Chain A
Amino acid sequence: MTVYLLCFALFLVGIYGIITKRDLVRIIISWGIMGYAVNLMFVLFGYKNGSIYPIFVKNAPVLPQTMVDPLPQALVLTSIVIELGNTAMLAALAVRLFQKYQTFDITKIRRLSG
């Protein structure tokens, strides 16, 4: 149970980063940290004590009962790729914003009224 709490703490560190930090790069970084925390927690849900990776090997027959849960691993593989796509788009947006506003400070990027 403590492992899940530590993952949730890492998630909260990410939220802390997004709320308090002012420049774009740190916001992208803290979103990355949130993504790591969620992915890790998802895989930790699937771990079974004393069991091995879910790959059958030719000459070492392994009982399926002694294998880890493969489903969270498949889903987290997808969410890691989603995380990379998101980082790429946020980085592209931040670069264009720097080109237009000459700063990364989100408080100075205030062209939108209201």
Chain B
Amino acid sequence: MILPFFIIIPLLTAFVITLISGERDDWAVILSIIVEISLLILSVFCFFRVDGTAVIYKMSNWKAPIGIILVADSLSIFMLIIVSFIALTSLIFSVHYIRHLSPSWNYYALFMLLVTGMNGVIATGDLFNMFVFVEITLFAAYALVAYGNRAEEFEASFKYAIMGSISSAFVLLGIGITYAMTSTLTLANIAEVLKQKDPMVSLWIGGIFLAGFGLKAAIMPFHAWLPDAHSSAPAPISAMLSGVLIKALGVYVLIRLFFNVLGGIAIFNEVFVILGTISILVGGFLAMGQWDFKRLLAYSSISQVGYIFLGIGLGTWLGILGAVFHLLNHAIFKSLLFYNAGSLETAFGTRDLRKMGNVAKALPVTSFTSMVASLSISGVPPFNGFFSKLIIIIAAIQAGRPIYAFLAAIGSLITLAYYMKVQRFGFHGKNILQVEKNAVSFGMNSAMIILAVLCLVTSLLIVPGIREATLDTIVAVIMNKTGYVSQILGRQ
């Protein structure tokens, strides 16, 4: 019953913000933060209420194949929690940060539309509806990437817009062909009809959707746009893009399409594994050579998403557990790293690691939290990154693919190398830099501290007691591929 409110509330806020928007944006800030907190509480409440079976909400009172249905199982509510949490911390961070760029209500209205789009993609159970909400998210992202009004940002936003439109054209082509074959648009019915068709059809549809949504998830062959877009966007926006958008629009949709709808075809799992491993290595090598802090983080996003695809591609229980856990961890520490880059940028006005100096004394909170984030992303034991990467590597070995496990371990070492480079140059360098007085506000510091604490807390999810309640329900949803279909068709 609460499901449609995940889309109605942020959408209504966006419209109200544009209505009441005066000269100053403080109204917009207060409204969006209150809304984001309520969304977070709503999603956590939903997570513990849904007991393994999918909750279905019939839009405008029509049954599944006729009307549109919203579906919420533990996987989609897990994604809703991540989206609302990272959006909340981004909003807190951007209260002060956006004052530097150009304070106006546009930013908060577009941010709310970004959240609406992602919630819409995650909650919907209808193929064309997913496409419409993907378009909303992309339009809001193009405008937000170009928010800073500098030449590179327009260039990055234009390239992101072109790649996004090409992938949307492929997705629409895929939807057209799926409709021609199955003449229905609800994901559950498509899955049911595709079972009777000859497997060549599923391969073809899978190929087109892999091209379309792979471009959005920036897997290896389609990763070219990501470093430009994520590095020139304002820090809270690149945190949202890297931490959540490529996962909600790319990874989540590919899991839903390839596991629940197409029933986990072996060839596509193999493709995920190979592309994931290539992403890990190439993303890592490219990140080594970067001196711009944000570009380095963008390249490291490509390699970390590669881990998630490696985990999913294995298809075993442990592999998917590692992938889901890494998805959560990466959202946390990558957003934290982008916040650090943002606060360095506001304090010193530069993103180049070589120019930075002894930040430890000047910005104690930023340097401490970035140390926590660097350790957890490169997989140092007490932090969460270590556990998720370890599970993926063990899963690769168990699944009889030691080569991928070995390559994943090398990837983790490369990550450790370039994050130590960040620490050595960025935070404990030699040249002393003067810093503007309280450049980094309380809001920015508190957002960073919350995420740093979370880096430690989420590693507790591995403890068997807690794991059953949270991660296992999600993995169960992905593992029994046709369970999703039978639940929806069963309980119309």
Chain A interface residues toward B at CB < 8 A: 11, 14-15, 18, 24, 27, 31, 34-35, 38-39, 41-42, 45, 71-72, 75, 78-79, 82, 85-86, 89-90, 93-94, 96-97, 100-101, 109, 111-114
Task: Name B134-181 residues within 8 Å CB distance of A.
Answer: 135, 139, 142-143, 146, 151-152, 154-158, 161-162, 165-166, 168-169, 172-173, 175-176, 179-180
| B166:A31 contact, CB within 8 angstroms | yes
Most A CB contacts (10 A, CB to CB) among B146, B156, B168 go to B168
Most B CB contacts (10 A, CB to CB) among A71, A79, A93 go to A93
| B143:A89 contact, CB within 8 angstroms | yes
Contacts of A93 in B (CB 8 A): 142, 146, 154, 157-158, 161
Of the A-B pairs whose beta carbons lie under 8 Å apart in the complex, a sample of 20, sorted by A's number, is: A11-B169, A31-B166, A38-B169, A38-B172, A75-B175, A75-B179, A75-B185, A82-B168, A85-B135, A85-B139, A86-B135, A86-B165, A89-B142, A90-B158, A90-B161, A93-B142, A97-B158, A111-B151, A112-B155, A114-B227
Contact status of A42 and B154, CB under 8 A, knowing A78-B132, A90-B165, A93-B146: no
Contact status of A75 and B139, CB under 8 A, knowing A42-B176, A111-B152: no
| A96:B232 contact, CB within 8 angstroms | no
- The complex places the Cα of A32 from the Cα of B139 at a distance, in Å, of 16
Contacts of B155 in A (CB 8 A): 97, 101, 109, 111-112
- Report the 9 A-B pairs with minimum CB-CB distance, sorted nearest first: A100-B151, A45-B180, A42-B176, A93-B158, A34-B169, A38-B172, A111-B152, A96-B154, A97-B154
Closest B-chain residue to A99, C-beta based?
Answer: B154
Closest B-chain residue to A111, C-beta based?
Answer: B152
- B128 proximal to A (CB < 8 A): yes
Contacts of A14 in B (CB 8 A): 169
Choice from A35, A42, A71, A101 contacting B151 with Cβ under 8 Å: A101
| B172:A42 contact, CB within 8 angstroms | yes
Chain A nearest CB: distance from B67 CB in Å?
12
Interface size class, chain B: 35 or more
Choice from A27, A41, A85, A114 contacting B295 with Cβ under 8 Å: A114
- The complex places the Cα of A100 from the Cα of B152 at a distance, in Å, of 9
Chain B interface residues toward A at CB < 8 A: 128, 132, 135, 139, 142-143, 146, 151-152, 154-158, 161-162, 165-166, 168-169, 172-173, 175-176, 179-180, 185, 227-228, 231-232, 289-290, 292, 295
- The complex places the Cα of A96 from the Cα of B147 at a distance, in Å, of 12
Contact status of A41 and B142, CB under 8 A, knowing A18-B166, A94-B158: no
| A112:B154 contact, CB within 8 angstroms | no
- The complex places the Cα of A15 from the Cα of B163 at a distance, in Å, of 11
- The complex places the Cα of A91 from the Cα of B464 at a distance, in Å, of 54
Contacts of B151 in A (CB 8 A): 97, 100-101, 111
Contacts of A11 in B (CB 8 A): 169, 173
Closest A-chain residue to B231, C-beta based?
Answer: A112
- The complex places the Cα of A78 from the Cα of B231 at a distance, in Å, of 32
| B162:A41 contact, CB within 8 angstroms | no
| B132:A82 contact, CB within 8 angstroms | yes
Choice from B142, B166, B172 contacting A79 with Cβ under 8 Å: B172
Q: Dominant SS at the A interface? A: helix
Choice from A24, A34, A35, A79 contacting B158 with Cβ under 8 Å: A24
Closest A-chain residue to B149, C-beta based?
Answer: A96
Contact status of A35 and B169, CB under 8 A, knowing A82-B132, A85-B139: yes
Closest B-chain residue to A79, C-beta based?
Answer: B172
| B227:A45 contact, CB within 8 angstroms | no
Contacts of A85 in B (CB 8 A): 135, 139
Contact status of A112 and B176, CB under 8 A, knowing A35-B169, A89-B142, A97-B154: no
Contacts of A111 in B (CB 8 A): 151-152, 155
Contacts of B162 in A (CB 8 A): 18, 27, 31, 90
Contacts of A42 in B (CB 8 A): 172, 175-176, 179
| B173:A38 contact, CB within 8 angstroms | yes
Contacts of A75 in B (CB 8 A): 128, 175, 179, 185
- The complex places the Cα of A93 from the Cα of B141 at a distance, in Å, of 13
Chain A nearest CB: distance from B158 CB in Å?
5
Contacts of A78 in B (CB 8 A): 128, 132
Contact status of A89 and B172, CB under 8 A, knowing A31-B166, A72-B179, A111-B152: no
Contacts of A35 in B (CB 8 A): 169
Contacts of B143 in A (CB 8 A): 89
- The complex places the Cα of A3 from the Cα of B358 at a distance, in Å, of 66
